[in-house]
Amino acid sequence: MRIRRLLVLLMSMVMTSAAFAIDAPEDLTIAVNGNDVVLRWQGVAGATEYNVYKETSEITDVNLLFPFATTNALTFTDNNSAGNQFYYVVTAVVPAGDLSGVINDTSNTAANNALVFASKLDDPSIFGLDYTDANGNYLIEGLPVGTYEVCVYLLNRPVGVTSVVINDGGISNWNYTWPAFSRTIVPTVLNGVVNWTNDQVYELAGPTSVAPGATLNIEEGTTINGSSSISGDTVNVLTFLEVEASDGANPNGVLNINGSQHKPVVFTSGRLTGTPRDGDWGGLIISGDAQNNRGRVAVGEGNTGPFGNALANAQNAQSSGSHRYFRVEFGGFKFTPTNELNSLAYQAVGSGTTCEYYQAINGADDGIEFFGGTNSCNHIIITNSGDDAIDWTDGWEGRIWNAVVYTRGAASDKGIEADNLEADNNATPRANGVLSNITFVGHQGSPAAATDLLNPRRGTKFNWFNFIVTLGGAGGIDMDNSATATAAAGGASRFDYSLFWDNGAAATEVIDPNTGAGIGDGHFRCEDAEWDNVNGVPAGGMTLNGHILAAPTGWTQNISNFRGTGFVGTNATTIIANPLLSDPTNYDARPLTGSPALNAANAAPAAVLATYSLPYAPYIGAFNGPNDSWHVGWSR
């Protein structure tokens, strides 16, 4: 048996007379009913019974005590105990065992740093994982009894899968040696219906396309490599996978990435020796026929395309497939500073396309970029992008919710770089990124990137809610260009119900409208000449309610002052506070218990989010507390 402590150190000072509730952790309530004390708690998955401990002094270790009572119910009544002071602790008894073994590579040598992941078949929320050591050993402890699907992953290998039964108090053993396998070199043009399965590794031989009218289905747990023709810093063959738009005679190509939480589809480097690097291959490009404010684009970045349509001909509801539970690793490629491939590019893709549970990791350019289109994404992670994490242009109108961004210092640029169109800031349809529940963590790496985490510019509209913005090198948000201000008029752009902390070298963590110009906090700034001229006043001279809007240094002290430019955002709904993230510099941005981000009163109300067709979440940022696990299993 494994004892799981459900609650710790809860003191109940029980009084006589009328019943009353006592503040307690969310899983346990204690109340008085006449002369009795009544305890209630929520069930623990796999528990067969619960031990109740009761002492007259603080309980620090139940292992030294005998239970006062044992029950298989979710409530316990302690008779005739009212009127005294007691300490109660409830623990769950969960029958459990361990899983261990040795993982070997195809050469029968130890597989170092292989991921072993076990998930319970009848309840996938119960899982355990471990990485093998230099000798290939792993150990996963404390798995509740039952049957588990066990998957093992190693770079550039097919996934290994088995089922294992975990018994109470026992150690189950599973050893695995990868069988010899060959890489399947895929043709550069895919026609008809093509199925890729997880018993093989697929290698791209060059620029590869899913042709108009074709469909590519990728099974869960499948690995796709860029070219293995890499030597040192030289990528001898540029590879990428593009799903093509329609060609007039045939509809657009379709890609179905059918990953699952514990068996993601992985697009990665094909490097056979040495450490994989960003830019080892070109990435994933999805081209469609939805709106683009450049009309039909003949050639996109990296000579991809054509894609997009003027609004009158746009197929905005078009589907380019379902893309679920997948990673793009070491992708992106820079031809020139203005001609780059991203880890994932959506080029005028329609709203019928699904994108969820996606991670870009160690890419050479943007983690995800939208070139027009109307598609949306949710539950995405951008880790260590070589340029911007999230980027849009060409009139993209879509939504993103539940996302986390980790930048890596000097190699990264913005968390968001949002444009309408560089060549014509007022082109239509105008871009409008509608986003909620995103956590941005800067300063990953040394030296820290001297950029702002958020940069709406060049005429885009933006409506953002429930953001955590922390550790930005230069600042939290920098709003640029007069067209952006004009587009925001009348509240058309909105940034509310968000939390800022420790952004910019001059951050003071206090919004003070009386602070002298130029020495305020580093969370919010705009460029004077661009924003002030919209309002017909000299640069650096605009005031609102007696306070300077933007000093000549480019800093502002008060986010509510942006209302003078048409931008909506108030001190009442914008918080400067420590979000108490678990370990943000080590890629864990889940807020700890007690974080202001977990206070539903600080988050955007459901009615506000519904106005923008966003799902309600009673918290700020990407995660609902320290135990939120939507990222576990499929991301690295």
467 and 569 belong to one structural domain: yes
Q: Is residue 551 a part of any domain in this protein?
A: yes
Q: What is the dihedral of CA 161, 162, 167, 170, to 10 degrees?
A: -70
124 and 83 belong to one structural domain: no
Number of neighbours of residue 170 by Cβ within 10 angstroms: 13
What span, in angstroms and rounded, lies between the C-alpha atoms of 216 and 236? Answer: 26
What span, in angstroms and rounded, lies between the C-alpha atoms of 448 and 550? Answer: 25
Q: Which of 269-273, 374-378, 615-619 has the lowest mean pLDDT?
A: 269-273
Nearest partner of 396 among 354, 345, 340, judged by Cα: 345
- Judged against a pLDDT cut of 90, whether residue 392 lies above it is answered with yes
459 and 557 belong to one structural domain: yes
Query: Is there a contact between 204 and 226 (Cβ–Cβ < 8 Å)?
Result: yes
Structure confidence by residue, pLDDT tens digits, 130-146: 999 999 999 999 999 99
131 and 47 belong to one structural domain: no
Q: Is residue 135 a part of any domain in this protein?
A: yes
pLDDT band at 26 (very low <50, low <70, confident <90, very high): low
Q: Is residue 269 a part of any domain in this protein?
A: no
28 and 168 belong to one structural domain: no
- Judged against a pLDDT cut of 50, whether residue 19 lies above it is answered with no
Please state whether beta strands 354-361 and 234-235 pair in parallel, antiparallel, or not at all (unpaired): unpaired
501 and 585 belong to one structural domain: yes
Q: Phi/psi of residue 415, each to 5°?
A: -75, -45
Q: Which 3 state secondary structure label does DSSP give 610?
A: helix
What span, in angstroms and rounded, lies between the C-alpha atoms of 120 and 101? Answer: 18
- CA-atom Rg of the chain in angstroms: 27
Residues of the chain with pLDDT > 70, as a percent, come to: 83
Q: State the CATH number of the domain containing residue 44.
A: 2.60.40
Query: Is there a contact between 44 and 4 (Cβ–Cβ < 8 Å)?
Result: yes
Query: Is there a contact between 451 and 483 (Cβ–Cβ < 8 Å)?
Result: no
Structure confidence by residue, pLDDT tens digits, 483-495: 887 787 777 888 8
Instruction: Please give the average per-residue pLDDT across 305-309, as a whole number.
Output: 96
619 and 513 belong to one structural domain: yes
More confident residue, 80 or 450: 80
- Answer with the one of 70, 94, 118 that is the final residue of a domain: 94
What span, in angstroms and rounded, lies between the C-alpha atoms of 509 and 598? Answer: 19
Q: Which of 10-14, 275-279, 536-540 has the lowest mean pLDDT?
A: 10-14
- Answer with the one of 94, 122, 153 that is the final residue of a domain: 94
Instruction: Please give the average per-residue pLDDT across 235-255, as a whole number.
Output: 94
Q: Is residue 636 a part of any domain in this protein?
A: no
Domain count, the chain: 3
The reported pTM is 0.82
For 622, the domain range is 436-626
Instruction: Report how far apart, in Å, the C-alpha atoms of 454 and of each of 34, 159, 262, 495, 588 are.
Output: 57, 38, 32, 11, 20
173 and 52 belong to one structural domain: no
Q: Which of 182-191, 333-342, 411-420 has the lowest mean pLDDT?
A: 333-342
Instruction: Report how far apart, in Å, the C-alpha atoms of 177 and of each of 102, 154, 184, 584 are.
Output: 8, 11, 20, 36
Instruction: Please give the average per-residue pLDDT across 460-482, as a whole number.
Output: 84
Q: Is residue 260 a part of any domain in this protein?
A: no
112 and 89 belong to one structural domain: no
pLDDT of residue 361: 95
Query: Is there a contact between 462 and 487 (Cβ–Cβ < 8 Å)?
Result: no
Q: Is residue 339 a part of any domain in this protein?
A: no
Query: Is there a contact between 463 and 434 (Cβ–Cβ < 8 Å)?
Result: yes
Q: Is residue 387 a part of any domain in this protein?
A: no
488 and 533 belong to one structural domain: yes
What span, in angstroms and rounded, lies between the C-alpha atoms of 536 and 189? Answer: 56
Query: Is there a contact between 433 and 462 (Cβ–Cβ < 8 Å)?
Result: yes
Longest dimension (CA), the chain: 83
Amino acid 536 reads G
117 and 69 belong to one structural domain: no
- Answer with the one of 150, 177, 204 that is the final residue of a domain: 177
Number of neighbours of residue 624 by Cβ within 10 angstroms: 19
Beta pairing partners, 2: 94
Q: Is residue 216 a part of any domain in this protein?
A: no
114 and 90 belong to one structural domain: no
Angle in degrees, CA 409, 466, 624, rounded to 5:
90
